[in-house]
Structure 1
């Protein structure tokens, strides 16, 4: 190359170098999101101070992230809770108040969380129970309702993941019962499959039950998603510890049933109105429980049965914990763990003999308090906890902020990201929940709507008559007040004691003012 052309070549390289420096940099890939729902999971975890629970993987996850110790659901039953948190709207806005209400029928144009993230370039995938078992809302996902291949039989497409057993005899019995039920009424919850014993402990590999098979599918799906240019949003919904407590025997063997304590609050709260409790109709579907009494009756479950049910619940929690440990290990192996926002949550609590009851579906805090733990890239204050009040409806705006996308202006929750950065800062003044008590499960056969407000010191509830057609409350029928500091298990309703009249008046006003007035002063 002669001297003249050599000079031109060097000038050309210099020009290209300057242009390259001025060119916009390629946008950094946004963090992935793994959105993990665990059905019926109350804060029965070591990270929440439960000394019986064997949950090493969730406890380790909490040690790497932020644990919210005072998180409340908006409704203590699956479909309304999930409709609320997935849309960012509270129940009186979604108008989803009980299991049969379908938000997509009520508001067809609703934009859900995965739909919103899709608008910002996320590839959205769903496995398991994120909305509700039989209403996966396929429109919300790029890849909706993925299921393990062995569960894709046509006759099982409307069947819930929690309804599968291992025993051949149980499976045969289920088919017979289902056929009989469908002859009486062809449209049924879980497509009529929710029959069988309340527990099973088969000596099988983890993958033989639905949640284990689903975890294997989740691992394969994550391996595929990791190779995509777009970030992903995966909703992964575990079915246990929902009834039946059917999990591999080795998780039952982790516990000595005699050492699992019975409920510290085995009675309906003293002075509580007669419509606060549900009839336990969920448990009634299972073998041997069809004649159990209403919690507000004289019915008492035997201690032996109580211990088996509690044992099964704890075994189920440990099973899901092991599956999550396997999933997280896989994410580390394929190199996506560190660049993924992982949030783990329960949709509502669950009574394990508390208030003489089993299940959810009340306004009591044993049903309203839930676990919520988050870990994300470059997180501050790893391993921290906060006892400030948060709500499940806060997840939508929080994930938006962490992903660096705009928070919708209609959202009725508050991003808790500032709370992660300063766990001791003052936050929400209260959490708001509600429950629609229908006549067929109410002790007095009447219909009510109960509105609940939780502050740091008190839990206050107002019960009104309710018009389900217009969705409006009528006459105030009763009130409840519990001292959360001195009576955390809510054993005595003190709303009618004169000494608390001022507190009741103040809380009633705060409840009427609603969630807007309870937001942090400087979020």
Structure 2
């Protein structure tokens, strides 16, 4: 039997406390801290184009976002999957492109239309994260948010606050009406303009200062809620998703933000008088039809262009201040050293460029978005203040965030993880990205070119290096044919459809299965409504044309039936 003996070792008090201190220090080494999964703050901003300081806008006052950019990665060639809220947000939160999901417009309720798709926040919940959400993340009201998306969702107030949707109704603004808030009376619409989209229930194409307490504005309420959650979070890791409503119209903000941008100092976009002359038929329709906002001619007629630019920038600065408050709270809670910050906008926004207001176009003003990824302050292996020029897409958010968190990626996600770029290990990165702005219509963006391809077979091509304002459409130049064909290789097949056809102002979709769909592209208030049942003669002629001519091309324009 093995005999065990006690061995007595005499240790001096100095040596004992030295060893104890060494053990305590070793338990808190950076290597062991790094084993804790990181937190992620996920910031979505609605309708924010590239009018921010860190992307070079000379008037935008955005010190907090600029500071974030100085501490992380600013993607200067980031584009949206779709230039409309519903399909863009659906793409980000599902990881699926509009062509794959079938979500091309704002008529989307996630749980109804994609019931089997696990959302991005739910994916984090399924992999050990506490997930909190507030504000506009999914498109639509709070009822559109899937019940399984968040552990706790704080709701959504709407961009009209401090006014209600009822107070913005068109029926009440004839031509205006008075609303009293906080003892003050406001004359709506603040900008004095009638609604170009008279068919809508509410008149939201409005802007101006609202001298009321910040606490009455939805974005202030959302940030306060998010900060309150930091007090309640007892364990990490967490994903905190915050969706700002601004600068989505109406552009109502506390007065001090409008004071930052005097009207006589407003710098207006450059809009040449004949800017639309070289555009195809469908492009001119998109430019002039008030699908998401109002008409450029109305803004100019009422002398509101400067006020609109000032109010948009005021909205951006309001959001920037609130982001600063959230970052300060993360620092005060000592969370900043293990928290990634991801900031993005769902798409851009026109303020008169191409004589257009709003979004839903294929032009650069609609497709380009601000996009920041800021590593934790405690992680030194990532290069700080890096401007990334690679072509990226918001579809890349899901796989990138999974890699940040160290959790599995869904095999169904279509984006590319940006982690190789963050680690400066990216090789053979494909420098092209896709934006889909309607069924059959897409934009391909590269560092040098932007191709806009419409459902009817017409195109625009712009040299983004020498013509960043997109004043000169080069698509009709014979020497550009090869370039156009090369870029079109990035356009998806859209296999649900046999033909995309334009006849006069009609868009006609011929599916592989089911009935023909017909849309009148300039039918006010109904341009997104299938009216095939109302035009049976046209449907019959289209079917006859296809049977007789058997077109080889999928996209075509028919001049005579």
TM-score (norm 2): 0.72
Q: What 5-or-longer segments of structure 1 have no aligned partner?
A: 11-20, 148-158, 181-188, 285-291, 437-447, 465-475, 515-523
Range 500-509 or range 118-127, more displaced? 500-509
CA contact (8 A) 1:80 1:96 kept: yes
Q: Does 1:44 align with 2:51?
A: yes
Deviations 1:230-265 (A, max 9, x none): 411111000000001111000011112222211123
Please give the residue correspondences for 1:56-455 in structure 2 after superposition, counting only pairs within 5 Å: 56-134=63-141, 136-147=144-155, 161-165=158-162, 173-174=167-168, 177=171, 194-195=202-203, 198-225=206-233, 227=234, 229-265=235-271, 268-276=275-283, 277=286, 279-284=289-294, 292=295, 301-302=300-301, 304-377=303-376, 378=379, 380-422=382-424, 427-436=429-438, 449-455=440-446
CA distance, structure 2, for counterparts of residue 79 and residue 504 of structure 1: 29
| 1:32 pairs with one of 31, 39, 50 | 39
CA contact (8 A) 2:162 2:216 kept: no
Per the alignment, residue 505 of structure 1 pairs with 485
Per the alignment, residue 462 of structure 1 pairs with 453
CA distance, structure 1, for counterparts of residue 165 and residue 479 of structure 2: 57
C-alpha root-mean-square deviation of aligned residues, in Å? 3.1
CA contact (8 A) 1:74 1:432 kept: yes
Deviations 1:107-150 (A, max 9, x none): 31101111111111001111001111325423342334304xxx
CA distance, structure 1, for counterparts of residue 77 and residue 259 of structure 2: 31
| 1:477 pairs with one of 444, 449, 457 | 457
CA distance, structure 1, for counterparts of residue 252 and residue 33 of structure 2: 49
Q: Residue 84 of structure 1: CA displacement?
A: 0.5
CA distance, structure 1, for counterparts of residue 205 and residue 278 of structure 2: 35
CA distance, structure 2, for counterparts of residue 161 and residue 484 of structure 1: 36
Distance 1:477 1:340, change over 3 A: same
Distance 1:327 1:176, change over 3 A: same
Deviations 1:264-296 (A, max 9, x none): 235654421122215223324xxxxxxx4xx6x
CA contact (8 A) 1:349 1:366 kept: yes
SS in 2 for 1:388: coil
Distance 1:507 1:176, change over 3 A: closer
CA distance, structure 2, for counterparts of residue 390 and residue 404 of structure 1: 21
Distance 1:30 1:462, change over 3 A: same
Q: What 5-or-longer segments of structure 2 have no aligned partner?
A: 10-25, 27-31, 175-196, 495-561
CA distance, structure 2, for counterparts of residue 197 and residue 498 of structure 1: 41
Q: Residue 402 of structure 1: CA displacement?
A: 1.1
CA contact (8 A) 2:161 2:216 kept: no
SS in 2 for 1:281: coil
Distance 1:347 1:176, change over 3 A: closer
CA distance, structure 2, for counterparts of residue 197 and residue 394 of structure 1: 32
CA contact (8 A) 1:35 1:343 kept: yes
Q: Residue 494 of structure 1: CA displacement?
A: 1.4
Q: Residue 454 of structure 1: CA displacement?
A: 1.1
CA distance, structure 1, for counterparts of residue 118 and residue 426 of structure 2: 33
Deviations 1:374-399 (A, max 9, x none): 11221511111111100000011011
Per the alignment, residue 529 of structure 2 pairs with none
CA distance, structure 2, for counterparts of residue 502 and residue 206 of structure 1: 55
Distance 1:334 1:193, change over 3 A: farther
Distance 1:266 1:42, change over 3 A: farther
CA contact (8 A) 1:163 1:194 kept: no
Count of paired positions: 440
CA distance, structure 1, for counterparts of residue 272 and residue 338 of structure 2: 45
SS in 2 for 1:477: coil
CA contact (8 A) 2:346 2:369 kept: yes
Q: Residue 428 of structure 1: CA displacement?
A: 2.4
TM-score (norm 1): 0.77
| 1:491 pairs with one of 471, 482, 488 | 471
CA distance, structure 2, for counterparts of residue 416 and residue 249 of structure 1: 39
Deviations 1:191-241 (A, max 9, x none): x8743671231223322211111111111012212x2x2411111000000
Deviations 1:461-496 (A, max 9, x none): 2222xxxxxxxxxxx431221111111111222111
CA contact (8 A) 1:270 1:493 kept: no
